[in-house]
Every structure is written in C-alpha cells, then in structure tokens.
Structure 1
Amino acid sequence: MSFDAPFLRQSLLDAAVEGDLDAVVHTLDEGGASIANLIDSVDAATGLTALHHSCMRGFVEIVCYLVRHGAAVGICDHEGETALHLAAQYDQVEAAKLLVSCGANIQHATIATGDTPLHYACRAGAIQVAVFLVSLGQSVHDLNVSRVFA
C-alpha cells in the first residue's frame, strides 16, 4: 500500500486529538519505514505534534505508545512549548511523569516568555503537576522574562 504522507500526518494528529489509540497505531503502521518522520509530524498552524495533543488531553496510553516508538519529548511548538509545558498547563500529572521518565527537561523555558513547565502549572492552578515538578527540584524562584516567579 502506498502512503500519502500529508494524509497520514493529519490522521495521526487527528487520532491524538481524539484519544484514539487504535487509530494512532494503525496510522503509524501504515507509515511503515517512515515512522521516524511521521511520529514527530507537526501541525503547520500550531507546531503541535501528536505527543503535544495527547499530553494536554491526558491520553497517557497514547503518550506511552508514542514515546516507546521514538517520539521526541523535547520538540517545541510555535510558542516554544514542549509536551511537558502542555501537560503542566492542563494538570496532566501522569503524562508529566511519563515525559520526565523519558528525559523531558523540567527546566526548559519558552523563548518568548521564559516560562518553565512549573510557571505553566502554577499559572493554571495545576497543583498536582506543580508539586511533582517541585519534588524533582524545580525551583519556585526561577524568574521568567516578565520577572515573575513560578
């Protein structure tokens, strides 16, 4: 079966948004040898990957599947946000734990604002993720560009 890369890319992103693990698996299987290129495909408008979408929505099974198959945990969207920033913003603590266990940088700051995942968690009132990040040693005294503490 020949594959249409743009179609598969959009299918993967749609499946991640919908939380459809079977569709994620099927799409990546159809991608075959190009799974490495497909798994980190970005939405042209936002820069979000399937991993970003899955993390912000708390679809931990999909997050696990994607990272197990090589999804890069440090890719930034157009705002400079990693999947961990979005997991923090939406208080998805299990997704955050999984990302950190796979090497996500808890101190990564966005380029525009200098916000770390802890800044995102605190601003959103995401207590579980904030406590988790602090337990890993993330400082509440880190300043962002606006000179605001986490």
Structure 2
Amino acid sequence: MENIKYVKGDATAPQASGKNIIVHICNDLGGWGKGFVLAISKKWSEPEQAYREWYKYREENDFALGSTQMVRVEDNLYVGNMVAQEGLKRVDNIPPIRYEAVRTCLSTIAIEAKKLDASVHMPRIGCGLAGGKWKEIEPILLETLSSHNIEVYVYDFE
C-alpha cells in the first residue's frame, strides 16, 4: 500500500473502522496550547495531561526530539504525541520542525500500528506552527508507514 488517502474532514474523527491512531507534532519545550492540539484537547483531556507529565518528568524518561508517546483515548482510538519540533519559533530562518525527528517518531508509530492492526490519521503534520513543508513530510509518511502496508489518512479541514 504505497499511497496516502487524502480526505476532507476533522482528523480527530477518523474515517476508518477498526483501531485508529491520530498523530500530531509536539514541541520539545512542554508547550501545548496552539494549533491542532486545541482540537485534540477539546475532545479528550488525556493526551495533554500525558504530554505535560511526560515533559515534567523528562529527566526520568525518554522525552526528547524523536520520542513518541501513545495515549489511549477510547476503546479503539489512540493519540500519538510525537516530539518533532525544536522550540516554537524560527531560528536563523530555520523552522522548528525537525524532519529526522518526524521520521523517528513515525517509525515508532509504524511499530505501534502494526501491533494494534491500526490505521494512522493526521492533519498535514509539521506544516502549521512547526513551519515544515508537505513535500518533505509526505515522503517520510510513504517511507515509514505506507511502505509497511499501514493505512494512512491525511485530513484537510473543511
């Protein structure tokens, strides 16, 4: 399955049956309060709480660029908090997205999706506040997820 399904709709409401994982990009500063995370927090409190705890105790856990945290929010639904944004703003005209961290996070998501037999859902991750380009993200999705026969849905909000 070498393709990505582009759909119109809300990435917090997966358009697939079975188990689903919603993924999104988090920053490495513990900040949660702008962008897609607001839509997540509007539906479930667990992903934000888990992320804040993960960050708070980062000296004792794996919180770092490239790390992923899976949070179960419903029986067949998980949210993948992926730390792939360094800071919040451009530095020397370099956006905060870190493509290698995206690759590492999505590789972890691939393992989880295979274990759960789940599809993966997302907005155009990394292309909003993180300042990334979809032409850089899309090949990473194909490499890490689609090439491993994991169904991928990318949502453009209507």
More strand by share: 2
TM-score under structure 2 normalisation? 0.32
TM-score under structure 1 normalisation? 0.33
